Amino acid sequence: MKKIAVIGFGFMGVTHAKNILANKNLELCAIIDNRENIFAGIENTGNHGDLDLPLAELYRVPIFKTLKECVNKTQPDAALICVPLFLHYDLTKKALNLELDVLLEKPFCAEPGQCQELIELAERKKRLLMVAHCIRFAPEWEFLTECIRDKRYGELKLLSTTRICGEPTWGIWQDKKIKNTCGGALMDLLIHDIDFANYCLGRPEDIKLNLNIEEYWELELKYKDQPAKISIKGGFLYRHTAFASEYAATFENGSIRFSTLQPGIIEVSTDTGAVSSRFTGNMYNSELEYFAKCIRERNNPEKCLPESSKQAIEICNEIRNLNKKFSAVQAIPDAKTSASN
Ligand SMILES: NC(=O)c1ccc[n+]([C@@H]2O[C@H](COP(=O)([O-])OP(=O)(O)OC[C@H]3O[C@@H](n4cnc5c(N)ncnc54)[C@H](O)[C@@H]3O)[C@@H](O)[C@H]2O)c1
């Protein structure tokens, strides 16, 4: 039985805490959060609706204000870190230095240099470090990964993803100063799809920014040795817009479509017609189960290595740089119009 301490008891912290309690191989040995009343409003935090939390069990878990105090009192094996991005580097460093394995919520850290430092620290400390890129563990996305890899419908020609929701309204997002450090829709939301593209196809050779309006982005990725092109679209719309993520993948001999608006259903179209298949399973549970197996067996998290999570950060930074150029080009007045004025 491995003991896990959850750091940050907001939307993702409570989601993971609930899943740890339901996992027979794990013990939720502590919750660490620096708020006074960590249970206030937790049932309806986030954008997944009612979280159906096992409150009676959660109330029994020891609560600490700092990781050090928690380690002294409860000796966890691992920390599951679910705090705002600006704390990812410091808290992960602390946890690794306290000899804990770490599952860190995405995005890794704002700067690739910080990611690299943590990767090296984990290696030196012989601790496991995994960044929670959950869609790698979602059954609908796992099916797509298999189709891309085993080419059962031929080569992938196009993968188009869309991920949209209202700007988050809960927890840290209500504090404007902290919100500005969260990486915006690109690093907080679209990083899921950027990471997935990396996972399946490697690092893109060319990234094109086709559209950026405030927190909405349209990106195009191309690869050196692959015919496939990737289109990633989405971002934060007005507050309270319902969350939806979808993909459409087209191969030489078929297409696959999925949308969270029809959870668990994937439609595959080939020459013989369209077939809908049902998929079950919860990505956060599978992700946790995978991490638990890695720490139990002392295996590197090959399915989600921190090096590739760092790559997703590098790509986001590249896109931000493109955006600066893109905005500069948009700002240049049309030559003819200026001349006639
Ligand atoms: N994988 C996903 O689907 C998904 C979804 C949402 C958020 N996230 C990620 O999870 C992380 C947290 O986001 P959230 O939506 O849960 O935020 P949240 O605001 O709901 O929760 C953050 C919690 O961290 C606590 N906290 C702040 N400083 C702390 C400190 N020094 N020590 C201990 N606790 C501290 C806050 O009190 C709060 O309870 C972010 O990195 C975000 O990108 C992932």
Q: Which atom of ligand 1 is nearest to the CA of 85?
A: 41
pLDDT at residue 42 above 50? yes
User: Domain limits of the chain?
Assistant: 2-133, 135-286+316-327
| 125: its two tokens | 């400390």
pLDDT at 52: 85
Q: Is 7 in the pocket of ligand 1 (CB under 6 A)?
A: yes
pLDDT at 43: 78
Closest CA relative to residue 119, chosen from 315, 291, 293, 309: 309
Residue range 225-261, pLDDT digits in tens: 889 999 999 999 999 999 999 999 999 999 999 999 9
Closest CA relative to residue 127, chosen from 146, 151, 101, 147: 101
Rounded to the nearest angstrom, the distance between the alpha carbon of 140 and the centre of ligand 1 is 25
Q: Which has more confidence, 250 or 44?
A: 250
Ligand 1 pocket mutation, candidates 93, 103, 172, criterion most atoms within 8 A of CB = 172
Asked whether the beta carbons of 28 and 2 are under 8 A apart, the reply is no
pLDDT at residue 334 above 50? yes
CB atoms under 10 Å from CB of 213, counted, come to 8
Residue range 200-229, pLDDT digits in tens: 999 999 999 999 999 999 999 999 988 999
- CATH label, 2-133, candidates 3.40.50.620, 3.40.50.720, 3.30.379.10, 3.40.50.1000: 3.40.50.720
Which residue owns the Cα nearest ligand 1 atom 6?
12
Asked whether the beta carbons of 194 and 220 are under 8 A apart, the reply is no
Q: Which residues pair with 131 in a beta bridge?
A: 104
pLDDT at 171: 87
Rounded Cα distance, 246 and 162, in Å: 5
Backbone angles phi, psi at 229, to 5 degrees: -115, 150
Q: What is the mean pLDDT of the chain?
A: 94
pLDDT at 340: 44
Give the residue carrying structure tokens 């309690």. Answer: 21
Rounded to the nearest angstrom, the distance between the alpha carbon of 13 and the centre of ligand 1 is 7
Rounded to the nearest angstrom, the distance between the alpha carbon of 14 and the centre of ligand 1 is 10
Q: Following CA atoms 193, 195, 196, 200 in sequence, which dihedral angle do they give, to the nearest 10 degrees?
A: 140
CATH T-level fold of 135-286+316-327 = Dihydrodipicolinate Reductase; domain 2 (3.30.360)
pLDDT at 341: 41
Q: Is 106 in the pocket of ligand 1 (CB under 6 A)?
A: yes
Rounded Cα distance, 245 and 165, in Å: 9
Q: How confident is the model at residue 158 (pLDDT cuts 50, 70, 90)?
A: very high
- DSSP string for 223-270: -SS---EEEEEEEEESTTPPPEEEEEEEETTEEEEEETTSTTEEEEEE
Report DSSP state, residue 189. Answer: I
- Which amino acid is present at 27? E
Say what the pTM is: 0.94
* For residues 139-165, average pLDDT: 98
Rounded to the nearest angstrom, the distance between the alpha carbon of 196 and the centre of ligand 1 is 22
pLDDT at 336: 46
Rounded Cα distance, 326 and 218, in Å: 12
Asked whether the beta carbons of 290 and 301 are under 8 A apart, the reply is yes
Around 159, how many Cα atoms within 13 Å sit in the side-chain half-sphere? 23
Asked if omega into 107 is within 30° of 0 (cis), the reply is: yes
Which uninterrupted H or E stretch holds 20? helix 11-21
Ligand 1 pocket mutation, candidates 18, 82, 188, criterion most atoms within 8 A of CB = 82
Q: Which atom of ligand 1 is nearest to the CA of 173?
A: 19
Contacts of 123 (CB under 8 A, 6+ apart): none
Q: Is 9 in the pocket of ligand 1 (CB under 6 A)?
A: yes
Around 25, how many Cα atoms within 13 Å sit in the side-chain half-sphere? 11
